Amino acid sequence: MPKIQVNGVQLNYVERGSGTPLVLVHGFPLDQSMWIGQIDALAADCRVIVPDLRGFGASDVVPGTATMAQMAEDLAGLLDALAISEPVVFCGLSMGGYVAWQFALKALALEKRHRLAKLILCDTRAIADTPEAAAGRLKTAEKVLAEGSTVVAEAMMPKLFAPATANEQPSVVESTRQVILNTKPEGIVAALRGMAERPDVSARLAEFTIPALLICGEHDSISPPAEMRGIAEKMPTARFVEIAGAGHMAPLEKPDSVNAAIREFLKQE
């Protein structure tokens, strides 16, 4: 897989297909492989670009704090390095969605609409952490530094999938666990600190005037459908799609349903 030096960091990415660029950004504490059900399937429709964020997968780990704005800036740099000047469709899941808000705010504030054509938010939130949640993340970060990535695997695994997925797709669940266990503790810690200080965008939803698609698994307990439907209602042009039978990892659990929603959205003017 190719790597590109961006903002002093080697970023790993996967690229397939041609046409409209579609950037797929993974959640925490995962990597590009969570889009395995999208990469080849959607490459028939567009140019799919799937990065590992700093600290994850085969990208460099930078100890410290990885803010959502820094990660968005990395991806803008990746697009520059790939000489992509046409409008992109930017899609992020959960933490990738936090990055998507920051990418979009910057693109819209700079009126660089050529950079952002459409936004897809999967299983994500608009609110910031409460002070208690932020403190909990920082505590988890200390534990990960002391005990390793297994701390986060144990905490996250029960929340990621719909109840039926564990029975019906055990290999999907197991490979996700392995991705978390293989993620370097410093990368996990930097992202935990970054998520703890992420801005609240819930009062700014009316500013996202570009076409938007919000996708949420029916059984998502981290960013539940009712919360995501509420986000969509406050965005001027957003459409909400609930994915039956999926949990927080909807693209991995129900790739055909998610791909159908994305394909339809790509076709819309």
Residues that bind ligand MLT (CB under 6 A): 27-28, 94-95, 195, 222, 248
Q: Residue 195 Cβ, how far from ligand MLT at the closest point, in Å?
A: 5
Strands 88-93 vs 21-25: parallel, antiparallel or unpaired: parallel
User: Closer CB to ligand MLT, residue 136 or residue 245?
Assistant: 136
User: Closer CB to ligand MLT, residue 28 or residue 103?
Assistant: 28
User: Closer CB to ligand MLT, residue 209 or residue 221?
Assistant: 221
One DSSP character per residue, 9-28 reads EEEEEEEE--SSEEEEE--T
Instruction: With CA atoms as reference, report the closest residue to 66 among 51, 56, 78, 80.
Output: 56
Tokens coding 60: 């460099």
Taking the CB of residue 206, how many other CB atoms lie within 10 A of it? Answer: 9
Q: Residue 27 Cβ, how far from ligand MLT at the closest point, in Å?
A: 3
User: Closer CB to ligand MLT, residue 196 or residue 266?
Assistant: 196
User: Closer CB to ligand MLT, residue 104 or residue 117?
Assistant: 104
Please tell me the distance from the alpha carbon of residue 56 to that of residue 90, in angstroms, as a whole number.
Answer: 19
Q: Residue 133 Cβ, how far from ligand MLT at the closest point, in Å?
A: 8
Q: Residue 190 Cβ, how far from ligand MLT at the closest point, in Å?
A: 14
Q: What would the 3-class secondary structure string for 154-196 be?
A: HHHHHHHCCHHHHHHCHHHHHHHHHHHHHCCHHHHHHHHHHHH
Q: Residue 172 Cβ, how far from ligand MLT at the closest point, in Å?
A: 15
Q: Residue 238 Cβ, how far from ligand MLT at the closest point, in Å?
A: 20
Eight-class DSSP state of 214: E
Q: Residue 217 Cβ, how far from ligand MLT at the closest point, in Å?
A: 11
One DSSP character per residue, 85-144 reads -S-EEEEEETHHHHHHHHHHHHHHHTT-TTTEEEEEEES--SSPPPHHHHHHHHHHHHHH
User: Closer CB to ligand MLT, residue 53 or residue 116?
Assistant: 53
Polymer length in residues for the chain: 269
User: Closer CB to ligand MLT, residue 41 or residue 156?
Assistant: 156
Tell the residue number behind the tokens 């936004």, with chain if given: 119
